[in-house]
Amino acid sequence: MNARSNAMPAPGATVEIDPAAALLRQRAGALLIDVREDDERAAGSAAGSTGLARSLLAERIGEIAPDRGREILAICGSGRRSLLAVETLRGLGYANSLSVRGGFARWKQEGLPVEQGVLDADSAERYARHLVLPEVGVAGQLRLSKARVALIGAGGLGAPAALYLAAAGVGHLTLIDDDRVDRSNLQRQVIHTDARVGVPKVESARIALGALNPNVRVEAIAQRVQAANVESLLRDHDVVIDGADNFPARYLLDAASRRLKIPLVYGAVHRFSGQVSVFDPRRADSPCYRCLFPLPPSAAEASNCSEAGVLGVLPGVIGMLQATEALKLVLGIGISLAGRLLCYDALAGTFRELRLPRDPDCPGCGARAHFEGYEDIARICSAPA
């Protein structure tokens, strides 16, 4: 008898079994294997089943069921893949294998016992495109759900960053901004609407994020970053996104993130250009913000958006790059921009990467740097250039 005749049941042989009968067989000692992918099982599975994707069945079934005489019941979503799984199993010598008719959908419909997955049904569907990425998967999505990200500024950079972090399932977003929505903001701050002009930006953003993903907790803090509150605002977060529009706030964020050992994702825009980097105090080789700007520029050298103007889509590009870096830091994947400055020229349509090494003489993180308090940082920014 050839291998193919061993793989396929004889004409009329039983290949499927109803869910209720499968439950009885399982309780009598049969092995119930859920052959769906990890992301599908994340929403729940038949109680007591063992998860093993069909693509890995031939490779790993011997570890799970070394006894080829044991009865094996295969279950999938609707009953189709489990039929193919049974064909594979019988081809491997597991002659006593059956497919659960109707799959997990019918199992649930008949009220048979299920185990809640590590993700609820909403999350399994919402983040389905994340779950199929090996670099993210269920474990990564759970990390995102437990992450806390602080966004300084709910304006041009904070708007796109917050939207994409909420969409990605970051569990806790803290929005910090003391400004109110102005009609001139709407050209680039896409998280706000005309109907919310005059509303505090953090409240306007909280409404938008709640509509996008009600599973994300959004904490709205209508305060300005100052020497007296910067550490308390940032403490207990995993990542800080710098969307500030003034140098005093940026220098305070730099000092506090270094002291608290929290990665700071920097972004800035001016007219038609922008730049992004990561300052990660957990790394000995990472520069800080003051390696890039040891001292604040004068007001004449650092005009703001209202004075110099900014192309409306530009903050969207830079803010999304900041969100990307934040997700990479939370997930622990890829290569962060620490030690590099990514510059974008919208008019030329080009990106340019510059090396940004740690400065041994940096007044913030250098060998001779001395922290004398946040009030001292604020004084540096207010002193004449």
Catalytic residues: 305
**CA 282/CA 259 separation, integer angstroms:** 10
Max CA separation in the chain (angstroms): 92
* Whether the Cβ atoms of residue 150 and residue 260 lie closer than 8 Å to each other: no
Q: How would you label 119-151 residue by residue, b for 16+ Cβ within 10 Å and e otherwise?
A: beeebbebbeebbeeeebbbebbbbbbebbbbb
> Six-digit token pair at 258?
């270094």
Ramachandran area for residue 49 (φ above 0: left; ψ -120 to 50: alpha; else beta): beta
Sign of torsion over alpha carbons 185, 190, 191, 194: positive
Q: Alpha carbon 258 to chain centroid distance? A: 23
**CA 154/CA 165 separation, integer angstroms:** 13
Instruction: Say what the alpha-carbon torsion angle 303, 320, 356, 358 is, to the nearest 10 degrees.
Output: 100
> Six-digit token pair at 131?
């779950």
Instruction: Please return the burial class of 35, using the count of CB atoms within 10 Å of its CB with bins 0-12, 13-18 and 19+.
Output: buried
Instruction: Say what the alpha-carbon torsion angle 196, 197, 200, 201 is, to the nearest 10 degrees.
Output: 80
Task: Write the single-letter amino acid at 291.
Answer: C
Task: Write the single-letter amino acid at 237.
Answer: H
What is residue 115's three-state secondary structure?
A: strand
